[in-house]
Amino acid sequence: METQPSYLANAQPNPSSNRAPWYKNTAPTYAGIILWFVFWQDIVNTGGAGGGLARGIWLPITAVATAAVLCHFLFYLVPGLFGLKTGLPLYVIGSGVFGARGGILMPGLLMGLLQFGWVAVNVYFSSLLLHQTLTMVPLWAIMAAWGALATFMGLKGIHYVAKVSTYLPLIPLVILIVLLVKTIGGVSDFKPELFTISGASLSSFGIFAAIVAYVVGFFATAGAAGVDFGTNSRNAADVQKGGLVGVTLAMIFTGVAAILIIAGVYGNPLTLAKLGGTLQVTDSGVLSAILGGGAAKVVMFLLALAAFPAACFSSLIAANSFKTMLPKVNANLSVAIGGAVAIALAISGVAGKAAAIFGFIGASFGPICGALVMDYFLSGRTWSGARAGFNPAGWAAWALGFTVGVLPNFGVNVPIAPVSAFVVGAVVYGICAKLGMQSKVVK
């Protein structure tokens, strides 16, 4: 009989006594992730600065709403139900798709490794905002300090991370509302021709597809983590409501607010004049036009501060992944190395390519979510149990899905790549299962 890895042998379901209503865990946590300024600042920048607005405001609004619905129903809901029914975390549920041994790598260590990509993006953009105020400090030094502190907090554990995350996510919510109120009057006079003339060359479908891909790519790992959120849910209604409010509604509000703010800025002659009549769809340029230089710096500092819990949570997830999957490896060392890599990616500027990074993450986790969904229905809407070794069906589904999803990073056009990767992962897993390519269930 195959000896089970320690992460399976030691797994214990979360008891019902530890669970709580959706509005106390799932919804606010997801909303805090989606309110992160890095997410909403680039929604309109498809195809270049402001390119997402080159065909008007209704197209990007429709794209955001579509992406929000896809994120809930394709990427979050089934993982959430898995967690609800079993009480077990993602890395255990994943062993049903990738095998007991394969689960160590996928989604176990992959989730941990990709979290450092999130840390790198957070460090890069947060440090840029901080540097607007801390101009006397070298940018690289801010990045190093920010990344090191976030990594340290992640290693300290959830109790320390929770202390810095209780109220800070409210900051971007308030800022978005204030910016929306100050700019909404200019929306009716917004002229998309300004963005079209500036070189945004995507077709209407191209803009729609790119925005959906951006949003879904951003959410992909958080969707898979719905398993862990589900372990804290009391019933299926909690899973549904937590996602509909914390994911769908939060995403629609945040994305639509970002679109209307930029449209309002460029539809108002006063703010447009402050931008010199040119495209400057950046935090510093837009915020200065709306609020004035001094207030804009304060807001940027606050947005950076509010982003710190997200960096800590990413480090925490990475630390837990390494501790669980590699119990014999010193977690302090492995997480420190990961944090150093994240800082290096930020300082080098690689982490500044958020859309490409989100695309890679979507390509990685799109087929994982797709295979999880297919396995859920093939197993009678329950968990099959861990499968022996490396489950061929899961690995074939991931390999083909990832290949499709990552092609845009190499210049090959794949419409809505993260969703395409999801579909390929689900279909391939289903075909392989029907062909008998699943290893036996061992737990």
Q: How many CB atoms lie within 10 A of CB 437?
A: 17
Split at pLDDT 50, 70, 90, the class of 195 is: confident
3-class SS of residue 226? helix
pLDDT digits (tens, 9 = 90+) for 338-374: 999 999 999 999 998 887 888 899 999 999 999 999 9
Report the alpha-carbon distance of residue 140 to residue 57 in Å, rounded: 37
Sequence-separated (6 or more) residues with CB below 8 Å from residue 119: 147, 150, 151, 311, 314, 315, 318, 338, 339, 342
**Residues 6 or more apart in contact with residue 226 via CB below 8 angstroms:** 75, 76, 77, 78, 79, 80, 83, 243
| Count of Cβ atoms closer than 10 Å to residue 424 Cβ | 24
Domain region containing 133: 18-351
| Residues linked to residue 303 through DSSP beta bridges, in sequence order | none
Q: Under a CB-based contact definition with an 8 Å cutoff, are residues 326 and 109 in contact?
A: yes
pTM of the full predicted structure?
Answer: 0.92
| CATH code of 129's domain | 1.10.4160.10
Neighbours of 46 (CB within 10 A): 25
Instruction: Give the model's confidence band at 103: pLDDT under 50 very low, under 70 low, under 90 confident, else very high.
Output: very high
Give residue-wise pLDDT tens across range 109-155: 998 888 888 899 999 999 999 998 899 999 999 999 999 998 888 77
Note whether 46 and 198 are within 8 A (CB).
no
Backbone φ and ψ of 143, nearest 5°: -60, -45
Alpha-carbon distance 293 to 284, whole Å? 9
Helices marked H in 225-292: 226-230, 236-243, 250-267, 269-274, 283-291
At residue 192, the 3 state secondary structure works out as coil
* Crossing angle of helices 110-133 and 354-378, rounded to 10°: 150
Domain assignment present for residue 167? The answer is: yes
Q: CB–CB of 104/251 below 8 Å? A: no
C-alpha dihedral, 249 to 254 to 258 to 259, nearest 10° = -10
- pLDDT tens digit sequence for 283-311: 677 888 889 888 989 999 999 988 888 88
Q: How confident is the model at residue 160 (pLDDT cuts 50, 70, 90)?
A: low
Mean pLDDT of the residues in the chain: 89
Q: Is the separation of the CB atoms in 100 and 439 below 8 Å?
A: no
In a domain, 175, yes or no: yes
Residue 364 resides in a domain: no
CA distances from 68 to 211, 247, 300, 369 (A): 11, 7, 26, 16
Cβ neighbours of 17 (radius 10 Å): 5
Confidence at residue 51, expressed as pLDDT on a 0 to 100 scale: 78
Indicate whether 377 belongs to any domain: no
pLDDT in tens, 381-416: 999 999 999 999 999 999 999 999 999 988 898 989
Phi, psi of 441 (to 5 degrees): -80, 130
In a domain, 246, yes or no: yes
Distance of CA 201 to the CA centre of its chain: 27
The token pair that represents 331 in the structure block: 């977690």
Residues facing residue 387 across a β-bridge: 441
Cα–Cα dist 421/296, whole Å: 39
**Do the domain assignments include residue 1?**
no
Count of other CB atoms within 10 angstroms of residue 60: 28
- Angle subtended at Cα 208 by Cα 216 and Cα 34, rounded to the nearest 5 degrees: 35
Instruction: Flag whether 401 is in a domain.
Output: no
Residue 42 lies in a domain: yes
DSSP per residue, 53-116: GTT-SHHHHHHHHHHHHHIIIIIIHHHHHHHHHH---HHHHTHHHH-TTHHIIIIIIHHHHHHH
Looking at the structure of the chain, the number of domains it has is 1
Query: Which DSSP string corresponds to 296-359?
Result: HHHHHHHHHHHHHHHHHHHHHHHHHHHHHH-TTS-HHHHHHHHHHHHHHHHHHTGGG-HHHHHH
Q: Tell me the C-alpha to C-alpha distance, in Å, between residue 173 and each of 115, 218, 432.
A: 24, 18, 45
Q: How many CB atoms lie within 10 A of CB 390?
A: 17
pLDDT digits (tens, 9 = 90+) for 14-30: 999 989 999 988 998 89
